[in-house]
Amino acid sequence: MNLNSEALFAEAKQHIPGGVNSPVRAFKSVGGNPIFIKKAAGTYLFDEDDNKYIDCIASWGPMILGHAHPKITAAIQEQVTKGTSYGAPTELEIKMAQLIKSMVPNVDLIRMVNSGTEACMSAIRLARGYTGKNKFIKFDGCYHGHADAFLVKAGSGMATLNIQNVPGISDAVAKDTLVAPYNNIEEVQKLVAANKGEIAAIIIEPVAGNMGCILPAPGFLEAIRKICDEEKIVLIFDEVMTGFRLGAGGAQQLLNIDADLVTYGKIIGAGLPVGAFGGKKEIMECIAPLGKVYQAGTLSGNPLAMIAGFTLLSELKNNPSLYDELNAKTEALHKGLETVFSTAKFSVQINRLGSMISVHFSEKPVTDFASAAACNNELFKKYFHYNLDNGIYLPPSAFESWFLNNALEQSDIDHIIKVAKDFCEVNN
């Protein structure tokens, strides 16, 4: 029963556009009413009707060690009594920057912001300021937050709601955003040739998570790196999802490719609003107050947010086996689902890297936005609701990766696999 959630959603719609503060939460593409969450602990979400769910989104990534982690909770509680914001520098910001640099290759300087959107928006501005060029290339179905320049063929909520063009974004802004299909290096080469000397940056999710999970084809990222070197283009890895999830050093380390700039969000704040962008000294020194590329934030480096992120990142750095555990759990889930779905009369493609995984209802491999968009969304809707009814909270969109957390136990994994098995039987 979801009577309390239904009543809250009706009330929310009176005051908040669409009843939500971020569009995918509204369940529009899967239908039905969103579930209102009352609390969370470990791997579970509890809703306002006291239903319990295995959480497969982890707040879209941050809760990688589960909800209400005791060390993070204690650290926030201790900090909060000392004041919540000063608008002046703190030692904690240095410790956070040092910690990130010790985990991530190739970051000389790093600046804290308040969201992934801010991080990506600032990284593009910086790349433009540094190179003196205006255009940049992004990939169809990748999402880099909701700053104007990125809302051209974006994934995540735009893909979920099937929004092609966003009113409110001027042609002048959109014309500098060039778009290539993911995993298609020829199209990147064509765009670079057609806009020679005009491209400031290429921004990419090194493993895409905003059109479901899509892996980079072998050699694809290496080829982009090479083009950037040859054409003096700034390579920006958007690691808002992959950072601190694919491993302590993110995609850069796992895939062994150095980006020039890298953006973070999600895990970096442990569930508090934090983002960051960093990279090579020569580029980062163009940021104010050192350089003229202006970027600022009243709450940037906020002490509560910093202590939360610092505590989570320290856990991840000091216990590298956590990644092995979480990857093994996700692999077990992957194998279990694969076995179960092989008995279904419909076709399923499971994409996974580490603890990012997604189930696509498709006969063909899903390697880019076009193949993700061609999946059977009706079946996804059914699968989503079948899971919800059986105590599993999946992303309410086929265009989002699942994010597992390390509080997940074998019994939870078994339950997700069993529910998939029952779903196949009901739909065979």
Ligand X SMILES: *Cc1c(COP(=O)(O)O)cnc(C)c1O
C-alpha closest to that of 127 among 312, 264, 283, 317: 283
- Number of other CB atoms surrounding residue 160 within 10 Å: 24
Counting residues that bind ligand X (by CB under 6 A) gives 15
Q: Token pair for residue 408? A: 């997940």
Nearer to ligand X, 34 or 269 (CB): 269
Would you say 392 and 56 are in contact if contact means Cβ atoms under 8 Å apart? Answer: yes
Contacts of 382 (CB under 8 A, 6+ apart): 423, 427
Q: What type of residue sits at position 17?
A: P
Smallest gap, in angstroms, from Cβ of residue 264 to ligand X?
9
238 flagged as catalytic: yes
- Interaction residues for ligand X, span 86-125 (CB under 6 A): 115-117, 120
Smallest gap, in angstroms, from Cβ of residue 41 to ligand X?
23
Nearer to ligand X, 181 or 209 (CB): 209
- Interaction residues for ligand X, span 119-138 (CB under 6 A): 120
Q: Which of 135, 138, 153, 266 is catalytic?
A: 266
Smallest gap, in angstroms, from Cβ of residue 50 to ligand X?
29
Beta bridge partners of 272: 270
Smallest gap, in angstroms, from Cβ of residue 368 to ligand X?
16
For 202, how many CA atoms within 13 A lie in the half-sphere containing its CB? 30
The backbone region for 197, taken as left when phi is positive above 0, alpha when psi lies in -120 to 50, beta otherwise, is left
130 flagged as catalytic: no
Smallest gap, in angstroms, from Cβ of residue 208 to ligand X?
8
Nearer to ligand X, 180 or 417 (CB): 180
- Interaction residues for ligand X, span 232-271 (CB under 6 A): 238, 240-241, 265
Binding string, residues 196-235; x marks residues near ligand X by CB under 6 A = ---------x---xx-------------------------
| Nearest residue to ligand X on Cβ basis | 116
232 flagged as catalytic: no
Smallest gap, in angstroms, from Cβ of residue 116 to ligand X?
2
Q: Which of 143, 182, 264, 383 is catalytic?
A: 143
Would you say 136 and 124 are in contact if contact means Cβ atoms under 8 Å apart? Answer: yes
By the rule CB under 6 A, 306 interacts with ligand X:
no
Burial of 258 (C-beta count, 10 Å sphere; 0-12/13-18/19+): middle
- Interaction residues for ligand X, span 143-182 (CB under 6 A): 143-145
Binding site for ligand X (CB under 6 A): 115-117, 120, 143-145, 205, 209-210, 238, 240-241, 265, 275
Active site residues per annotation: 143, 238, 266
